[in-house]
Chains A and B, each alone.
Chain A
Amino acid sequence: MTAVHQFVPALLPRDATGDHTLALRDAFRSAGWESDVYVEAAHAELQHEASYFEEYPGRARPGDVLLYQLGTSSPVAEFLLGRPEPLVLDYHNVTPESFYEGWEEHTAAKVALARRQVASLAPRAVLGIADSAFNARELASLGCPATEVVPILVDLDTEDAAVDARERDRLAVRHGDATVLLFVGRISPNKCHEHLVAALWVYRHLYDPDARLHLVGPAVTPDYAAAVFAFAAELGLAGAVDHAEGLTTAELSAWYGDADVFVCLSRHEGFCIPLLEAMRVGTPIVALDAGAVGETLADAGILLPTARPGTVAAAVDRIRRDRALADRLVASGHRRLGDFAAATTRRRFVEVLGAVAGGERVVA
């Protein structure tokens, strides 16, 4: 029987990689395969879903294929380097350490280790699966013998859950008719929140003095987050920037739905799931063309070549003034979402992993 077992550093609830891993396991089991999840650590809510990676050698069977969900550093990488089974990488990208230098040296060291682990694993793998062509190019440049682009498995169909009406009403009362710019993502230097604040300042100066910026995401780099909010305060925007984290799916949908424009000025993205979430809710998108953002967005938003605040502000204003443009972007977003349909992605994963398990892909 075909067996594809997944390894992931941490299995967390309400986490893109965690959700992806469990959804893939279910897809593999539905295909009639054996599939278990092995972890370095699991959140208490999900401990029953996984085993520790050290337990795998006692359960290994001939013909097993190992799939590693790679997005951070972990002892799991060293463990897999020593295993004889065919290894497939599912690469979600690792932020270059240069973004963290000066802000958080221990995180810089951690991501540097992760990138070294990617470089060690890539030539050892029989196949690298990447969320985006951007990630695939990175794997190939590190010596991965073959790559396939298959998006991350995000079940946006089932996530079409209720919008939290109370949260939506609260937000609407708070800002009235003012323009709302939204960004969703952890507050981390590669996401460049300072450019969002600068763009808000220019937008208020030129177009709408009451405009607001909504930031949703955990402040994972506290010094950087403090600098962003201090920068906003220095510009007189302390009352115009709202921050939220730990939202439920329904609350998050309310924040998306409340925004006039989703603005992403991140300098490094391996895929960017929030773009898909904005498309699902129907929020027009303005995004900087960096990393994999351009290929994820395609024609479903205004793709900027620069994060200069004047250009960002002008793009937001254009969407605010031009209803036809906003409608076209939303329609393009809904069309683009079809390319990431969960059923299609599940089928692609089964095809690609099935080829490895069936020996159609030559094992190095």
Chain B
Amino acid sequence: MTPDASDPAGDAATDVAERIRYLDEVMAEIDAEVRRRRASGDLPAGLEAELDELFLEFSPVGLHGRARLRETLALVDGSAYVDIAVPTASNKAVGAYVKRVIRKGLGWYMNFVVAQIVKFAWSVSRMFHVVVDHLEDLEAAVELTASPDLPVDVAPAADPGSSWWTPAAVDALAGVADRVLVADCGDGGLLDLLDAAGVDAYGVDPSDLVLEPALARGLDVRSEGLLDHLGVVATEALGGMVLTGSVQWLRPNERERLVDLVATRLAVGGTLVLQSGTPEGWAATVTPVVRDLAPGRPLHAQTWAHLLSARGFAVGEPLTGGRDERIARVGEGSSDADSVNAAIDVINHLLLGPTEYLVVATRER
């Protein structure tokens, strides 16, 4: 309804709408300025990543696993010593003298008490050292038993060049205002598509080598594992996330951690896009050795839906794609058609159906 010009409430609404439109225009101009600065090289693609990493050097949050444990232990050690030499500096000449007298007078008393406190603190610190040593031994043992070496030329993954799903991923993320993370971004092909759609996307990939083409094109990509990266992203800092690649072969504990991180790093209302091979497609393409020994394997789309729903996501119907070698059903004319078609359905379902899927979910709470 168009506000009536003689209606004060209508005038106010018009004013508000005009002010919002004006601010939208200003914001669009600010975005254009940022794009211009990036294109000119004033804002290099890797600058923000460098600034983030630099701050993390001063942050205990930036440390992980053993480094974080040892760093914290060093803080305990540093705090375990209590200094009884109280500073005696003073703005007034007599003040420093009085403080020195008090320090000297109380020294015998403080020494006795502090010696016992320090002894207790060092005992506690020593205990933590023993616990951490023991913990590290246990972690090493668990790692040894949990992941047998696999032949190096195989990986339990969907076809890395598969791109049937990228238009749907871009559609799902178009309009997301805040930053979008693309995991295992590889050469940055999806980042290009998202950028063209006006999405503020950046990527991570654990391999320096595969990132080189993306870096050469000036894309904002970081050489980092997905879990390591999400561990230092601020709560609810991301508007969207694309999970692909390594999400298919995470170990169970890594998968749990990933889902927890996704559910906290993605803002409420944020969009998650997850692309994976199907377990059936994976089983049909890898060797028996990999099938038996792989520490992790792709999940069904329904399983991801279950895991994500439990963390407050609304999950849409999965899209399927990839290779599809289903056998056509036989015509109805044959007397054995029904039994043959039933067998074909079973074979199609178990072995020959679409080998990949795409899940789109929205964080609701």
Which chain A residues have a beta carbon within 8 Å of chain B's beta carbons? Answer: 96, 98-99, 101-103, 141, 192, 194, 197-198, 201-202, 205-206, 223, 226-228, 230-231, 234-235, 267-268, 289-290, 299, 302-306, 308-311, 314-315, 317-318, 325, 328, 332
Q: Verify B60–A96 contact, CB threshold 8 A.
A: no
Bound form: Cα–Cα A290–B179 in Å: 13
Q: Verify B235–A206 contact, CB threshold 8 A.
A: no
Q: Verify B235–A96 contact, CB threshold 8 A.
A: yes
Q: Verify A206–B68 contact, CB threshold 8 A.
A: no
A-B contact pairs, 8 of them (CB 8 A): A102-B60, A197-B55, A198-B51, A206-B43, A310-B37, A311-B30, A311-B34, A328-B22
Q: Verify A302–B23 contact, CB threshold 8 A.
A: yes
A303 touching B235 in the complex, CB below 8 Å, given contacts A102-B68, A308-B48, A318-B30: no
Is B259 an interface residue, CB under 8 A from the partner? no
Chain B residues whose C-beta falls within 8 Å of the C-beta of A328 in the assembled complex: 19, 22
Tell me the smallest distance from the CB of B281 to a CB of chain A, in Å. Answer: 36
A98 touching B235 in the complex, CB below 8 Å, given contacts A306-B179, A308-B48, A332-B19: yes
Is B178 an interface residue, CB under 8 A from the partner? yes
Bound form: Cα–Cα A267–B365 in Å: 17
Tell me the smallest distance from the CB of A348 to a CB of chain B, in Å. Answer: 20
Is B66 an interface residue, CB under 8 A from the partner? no
Is B327 an interface residue, CB under 8 A from the partner? no
Tell me the smallest distance from the CB of B180 to a CB of chain A, in Å. Answer: 11
Q: Verify B33–A318 contact, CB threshold 8 A.
A: yes
Contact of A314 among B22, B33, B54 (CB under 8 A): B33
Bound form: Cα–Cα A111–B363 in Å: 24
Q: Verify A227–B59 contact, CB threshold 8 A.
A: yes
Q: Verify B234–A311 contact, CB threshold 8 A.
A: no
Tell me the smallest distance from the CB of A330 to a CB of chain B, in Å. Answer: 13
Contact of B48 among A99, A197, A310 (CB under 8 A): A310
Q: Encode B46-57 as 1/0 by CB contact (under 8 A) with A.
A: 011001001101
Q: Verify B30–A267 contact, CB threshold 8 A.
A: no
Contact of A315 among B19, B30, B54, B60 (CB under 8 A): B30
Q: Verify A318–B26 contact, CB threshold 8 A.
A: yes
Q: Encode B83-100 as 1/0 by CB contact (under 8 A) with A.
A: 000000000000000000
- What 10 A-B pairs are tightest by C-beta distance, nearest first? A102-B61, A227-B58, A305-B177, A314-B33, A198-B51, A310-B43, A299-B19, A230-B58, A194-B55, A231-B55
